[in-house]
């Protein structure tokens, strides 16, 4: 194996983690990563002059992930019971008022300055139900706009907004439970 | 000004929608009017703002992971 091929293989586990987080399907993730490695092997000269191999590979992977989503678009957008759960009903009473008032999270810099905060955020994203997780990752990691996501998944804009709305609410609930509502925040301030 | 009246659930929906689409003029007015008088939603609005700051850094964090 060439040195280049060896460095590609070494990065494979990391690429697979990204692919799983986006696709939430083992077989599709394996395919996307294999296609990424093959594409990289086919034109190593494209890497010449780039600063970081990993950054370059992630760029290729993102395209392969979108290919996988397109190829499997029908299955990708089949919601589970968890996706369909009425999160708003848990947070608001029948008059539309908060059951429990949202908490103050304090200075954004205090949270964003902490590596552990992002570890918790990552866990919360991983815990999102299947379709919510996929669309959230498409929006916030692949950085696609709403129109592109709807086109790739063949869903309506209204559908997408409901999914993203629930995903964002779930993330905030998860962060409240696992970060802002715990002693972690105060422990740092001390 | 009844056409601007929204409850917390509706305002929360608009605040979150603002992350993924551009709100209309009436929607923005309704949110602003509600936030001025509500004792609960401004905190939620600040949570959303914190998330908006955190997510680009989360992207950088995860791609720098070993």
Q: Of A31, A46, A71, at which residue does a domain stop?
A: A71
Give CA–CA dist A177/A56, Å, rounded: 36
The predicted pLDDT at position B3 comes to: 83
CA dihedral A167, B44, A179, A145 (to 10 degrees): 30
A129 and A57: one domain?
Answer: no
A41 and A92: one domain?
Answer: no
A172 and A113: one domain?
Answer: yes
The CATH number for A137's domain is 1.10.10.10
One-letter-per-residue 3-state SS of A151-173? HHHCCCHHHHHHHHHHHHHHHHH
The predicted pLDDT at position A102 comes to: 97
The mean pLDDT value for B36-61 works out to 96
pLDDT band (50, 70, 90) for residue A30: very high
The structural domain count of chain A equals: 2
Query: Taken in order A141, A78, A161, B51, is the CA torsion positive or negative?
Result: negative
Q: Which chain A residue has the Cα nearest residue B14? A: A165
A38 and A65: one domain?
Answer: yes
Q: Of A19, A45, A71, at which residue does a domain stop?
A: A71
Give CA–CA dist B44/A116, Å, rounded: 22
Cα three-residue angle A75-A79-A80, rounded to 5 degrees: 115
A84 and A67: one domain?
Answer: no
Q: Both tokens of residue A73?
A: 């678009």
Predicted TM-score of the model (pTM)? 0.92
> What is the 8-class DSSP label of residue A179?
I
Q: Of A71, A92, A126, at which residue does a domain stop?
A: A71
A143 and A125: one domain?
Answer: yes
The mean pLDDT value for A27-46 works out to 93
Beta bridge partners of residue A98, listed in sequence order: A92
Chain B 13-52, residues with CB within 8 Å of chain A CB atoms: 13, 16-17, 19-21, 39-41, 43-44, 46-51
Higher-scoring residue by pLDDT: B66, A25: A25
The structural domain count of chain B equals: 1
Give CA–CA dist A15/A29, Å, rounded: 9
The predicted pLDDT at position A50 comes to: 64
The mean pLDDT value for B12-31 works out to 96
What range defines the domain where residue A134 resides? Answer: 80-189
The CATH number for A22's domain is 1.10.1740
In tens, the pLDDT along A103-133 reads: 999 999 999 999 999 999 999 999 999 999 9
The mean pLDDT value for A62-74 works out to 96
| Choice among A2-6, A45-49, A109-113, A163-167 with the minimum mean pLDDT | A45-49
Give CA–CA dist A134/A16, Å, rounded: 15
Is the pLDDT score of B11 beyond 90?
A: yes
A55 and A143: one domain?
Answer: no
Asked whether the beta carbons of A68 and A23 are under 8 A apart, the reply is yes
Is the pLDDT score of A9 beyond 90?
A: yes
What range defines the domain where residue B9 resides? Answer: 2-63
Chain A 118-157, residues with CB within 8 Å of chain B CB atoms: 118, 121-122, 125, 139-141, 146, 157
Is the pLDDT score of A88 beyond 80?
A: yes
B-chain residues within 8 Å CB-CB of A156? none
pLDDT band (50, 70, 90) for residue A49: low
Burial of A1 (C-beta count, 10 Å sphere; 0-12/13-18/19+):
exposed
Radius of gyration of chain B (CA): 15
Give CA–CA dist A164/A93, Å, rounded: 21
């Amino acid at each position: 194996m060439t040195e280049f091929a060896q460095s590609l293989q070494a990065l494979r586990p990391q690429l697979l983690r990204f692919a799983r987080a986006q696709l939430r399907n083992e077989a599709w993730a394996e395919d996307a990563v294999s296609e990424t490695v093959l594409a990289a092997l086919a034109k190593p000269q494209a890497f010449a002059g780039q600063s970081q191999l990993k950054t370059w590979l992630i760029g290729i992977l993102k395209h392969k992930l979108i290919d996988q989503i397109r190829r499997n678009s029908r299955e990708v957008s089949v919601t589970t019971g968890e996706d369909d759960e009425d999160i708003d009903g848990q947070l608001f009473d029948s008059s539309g008022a908060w059951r429990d008032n949202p908490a103050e999270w304090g200075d954004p810099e205090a949270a964003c300055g902490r590596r552990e905060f992002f570890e918790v955020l990552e866990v919360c994203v991983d815990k999102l139900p299947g379709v919510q997780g996929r669309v959230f990752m498409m929006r916030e990691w692949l950085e696609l706009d709403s129109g592109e996501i709807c086109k790739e998944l063949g869903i309506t804009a209204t559908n997408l907004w409901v999914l993203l709305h629930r995903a964002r609410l779930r993330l905030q609930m998860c962060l409240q439970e696992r970060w802002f509502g715990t002693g972690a925040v105060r422990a740092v301030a001390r | 000004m009844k056409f601007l009246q929204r409850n917390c659930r509706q305002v929360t929906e608009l605040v979150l929608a603002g992350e993924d689409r551009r709100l209309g003029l009436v929607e923005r007015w309704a949110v602003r009017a509600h936030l001025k008088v509500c004792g609960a939603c401004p905190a939620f609005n600040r949570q959303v703002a914190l998330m908006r700051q955190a997510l680009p850094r989360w992207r950088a964090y995860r791609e720098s992971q070993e």
